[in-house]
Amino acid sequence: MGDKMKNILYVLVFVLLASSVCAAASFTASNLDFGSDTQSRSVDVTLPLTLTNTGDVALTIALTSTLKTTYNTVIAQPSVTLAPGATTNVDITISIPKTQSSQKTDLSGGIVGTAVSGNSTVARTSHVTITTESMLEINKVTIMIDGGSEKTMTDSDFTDSDLKAGTSFVIRVYAKNDYATSTSIDMTGVEASISSDSDLNLDDTQSIGDINPTHKEFAEFSGQIPTDAQDGDTYSIDVSADGVDDNGAEHYASTSRDIRVERKTDEISITKYKITPQTISCNGKVTISATLQNTGRYNEASTFLLIENDELGIMEKFYSLAMQKDDSVSKTYSFNIDNTTAPGSYDFMLTTFYGSDKQSTSQVVTLNVDPCQQTQPTQPTIITTPTNTNTNTQPTIPQVVPINGATPAYGNASFTDSPTYLVVLIAAVVVILLILIILLVKFVF
């Protein structure tokens, strides 16, 4: 029993000694986060590496770099000795290359600290990250609502009286090359991306292309506010741009915008409208169609659509359309165009009303009337008789086409050379002589 107890004690002592040795050799090393979103390239940057002896025995810590040689890492103190509980800083300097990406990048390798205590070795690796300035900037974000004018979206919530349920819009993302003209550094292969709440269904990437120094270009993205959007609904939009400069450095920029729907108290919108056909010539049927939607906050008991054109004397009303909130209704109107309608462009005003006489929204469709096409008269066919080059044949007598029912004549001889002319001439002389004889007898004899 005594020997067994001794063996147990020996094992416990060994375990305690081993544990004490492992616990004694312990230290921490901080990570290094170089640069910021304003950090320039092609410069040296220094950060302190913090070492702390967390054990209960003195440690000598050797420091080495496993970073790529591109960074020209310099360690101010390759070896430091720390008493138990002691802390020290060692300056680490790296060169940031001109090819460094603007986004925060985890570098492969790091700063390795190694300490030896007795028969044990303890190592810690400090991870290194670098962030540099992006020379690609999202200069501005704009929105065009229902084909309207371009409006800049600020960083705060964007709202507009035209931004409502069912509204279509186009967002432009402007990217700018912030390099000075003197650098001659272009941004190449620039792309812009957009993403948003699932309700907006915006998730797309568009190519912008190359951007010269100090210049800006844009990409467009189309979307639509949900038709059931309620007053105050807000949608988040995230936009970003990335490209590569002539040095091979990647640049990235991002920003966010919120758009908020503000419903009017009463509003009847024209969400779809068209005229068919858009161009017509002479007689034909024309149809105007429009879809109305109650995009206001409340139900409407009485609404109507007015279609009018003063030049053609058209004024058509669709009366007493009761519309619940978010309801929509489609209407069509047809009329005929005849050949008395003057050619030109005719604008038709489509206007909605609520509460019987309160005007809400309007749209315009245009009809183009072309001149009637006239049928061209058929040109007579001229028959040409080919010339016979054979000198042994008799010449062909040309045919003369009769005019006003006259008997056609043939040949090239003159009428005064013909026998008929001689007969006519003799007859005329005889008639004249007879007249002279009659006159002499009557008045002389």
Residues 232 and 143 in one domain: yes
- Spatial separation of the C-alpha atoms in residues 190 and 204, rounded to whole Å: 14
Confidence of residue 389 (pLDDT cuts 50, 70, 90): very low
Question: Which of the listed residues 90, 115, 131 is the one where a domain comes to its end?
Answer: 131
User: Which position has the token pair 């009809």?
Assistant: 367
Is pLDDT of 186 > 80?
yes
- How many domains does one find in the chain? 3
314 and 363 together in one domain:
yes
pLDDT band for position 227 (cuts 50, 70, 90): confident
More confident residue, 103 or 389: 103
Q: Are residues 93 and 156 in the same domain?
A: no
Predicted local distance difference test score (pLDDT) of residue 216: 97
Average pLDDT score, the chain: 84
Q: How far apart are CA 207 and CA 295, in angstroms?
A: 35
Is the residue at 428 inside a domain?
no
With respect to residue 389, please indicate whether it lies within any of the assigned structural domains.
Answer: no
Which residue did the predictor score with more confidence, 435 or 368?
Answer: 368
Cβ contact 293:269 at 8 Å: yes
pLDDT score of 151 more than 50: yes
Assign residue 319 the CATH number of its domain: 2.60.40.3880
Residues 6+ apart with CB under 8 A from 215: 176, 177
pLDDT tens-digit map of 32-49: 999 999 999 999 999 999
User: Residue 152: phi, psi to the nearest 5?
Assistant: -80, 135
List, for residues 86-138, the tens digit of each pLDDT value.
999 999 999 999 999 999 999 999 999 999 888 889 999 999 999 999 999 99
CA distances from 422 to 51, 54, 409, 410 (A): 145, 152, 18, 19
**How far is the C-alpha of 19 from the C-alpha of 12, rounded, in Å?**
10
Phi then psi for 251, rounded to 5 degrees? -125, 140
The average pLDDT across 299-309 equals 92
Residue 256 shares a structural domain with residue 140: yes
In a domain, 388, yes or no: no
Q: Range with the lowest mean pLDDT among 76-85, 99-108, 308-317, 396-405?
A: 396-405
Q: DSSP states of 318-351 as a string?
A: E----B-TT-EEEEEEEEEE-TTSPSEEEEEEEE
Evaluate whether residue 229 is within a structural domain: yes
Residue with tokens 């008639």: 431
Per-residue model confidence (pLDDT) at position 418: 58
- pLDDT for 241: 98
- At residue 77's C-alpha, the angle toward residues 76 and 82, to 5°, is 140
The percent of residues above 90 in pLDDT, for the chain, comes to 57
**What is the C-alpha to C-alpha distance for residues 346 and 399, in angstroms, rounded to an integer?**
57
Lowest model confidence (mean pLDDT) among 144-148, 174-178, 186-190, 237-241: 144-148
**Which range (109-123, 170-184, 354-368, 371-385) has the least confidence?**
371-385
Residue 169 belongs to some domain of the structure: yes
Where does the pLDDT of residue 21 fall: very low under 50, low under 70, confident under 90, or very high at 90 and above?
very low
pLDDT tier for residue 411 given thresholds of 50, 70 and 90: very low
Domain carrying residue 226: 136-260
Q: What is the pLDDT of residue 212?
A: 98
Query: How many CB atoms within 10 Å of residue 27?
Result: 22
For residues 276 and 255, state if they share a domain: no
Q: What is the mean pLDDT of residues 415-420?
A: 60
Query: Does 152 share its domain with 245?
Result: yes
Note whether 148 and 213 are same-domain residues: yes
189-203: average pLDDT:
91
What's the confidence (pLDDT) of residue 357?
85
* 239 and 215 within one domain: yes
8 Å CB contact between 217 and 208: yes
Of 77-86, 120-129, 179-188, 311-320, the poorest mean pLDDT is in 311-320
Task: Report pLDDT for 167.
Answer: 86
Other CB atoms within a 10 A radius of the CB of residue 372 amount to 12
Residue 18: phi, psi to the nearest 5? -65, -40
Q: Report whether pLDDT(177) > 70.
A: yes
Residues 247 and 140 in one domain: yes
Residue ranges with strand state E in 66-183: 74-75, 79-82, 87-96, 105-106, 111-117, 120-126, 128-131, 136-145, 150-152, 157-158, 168-177
Instruction: Check residue 82 and give its pLDDT.
Output: 95
Question: Which domain-ending residue is among 211, 230, 260?
Answer: 260
Local confidence band at 416 (pLDDT 50, 70, 90 cut-offs): low
Which of 370, 391, 416 is the last residue before a domain boundary? Answer: 370
Cβ neighbours of 419 (radius 10 Å): 7
Q: Are 126 and 134 in contact (CB under 8 A)?
A: no
Q: Is residue 407 part of a domain?
A: no
Looking at residue 6, its pLDDT comes to 56
Residue 232 forms part of a structural domain: yes
Instruction: Say if residue 214 is in the same domain as residue 276.
Output: no
On the question of pLDDT at 318 being above 50, the answer is yes
- 283 and 365 in a common domain: yes
- pLDDT for res 405: 43
Strand 187-196 to 203-211 pairing: antiparallel
Omega before 408 within 30 of 0, i.e. cis: no
CATH number at residue 189: 2.60.40.10
Whether 319 has a pLDDT exceeding 80, the answer reads no
Per-residue pLDDT reduced to its tens digit, 326-349: 888 999 999 999 888 899 999 999
User: Would you state the pLDDT for residue 392?
Assistant: 47
Distance CA 311, CA 307 (A): 13
CB 206 within 8 A of CB 241: no
Residue-wise DSSP of 167-205: -EEEEEEEEEE-S-GGGT--EEEEEEEEEE-TTTT-EEE
Residue 188 lies in a domain: yes
Residue 425: which pLDDT band, with cuts at 50, 70 and 90?
confident
pLDDT of residue 436: 78
Does residue 92 share a domain with residue 177? Answer: no
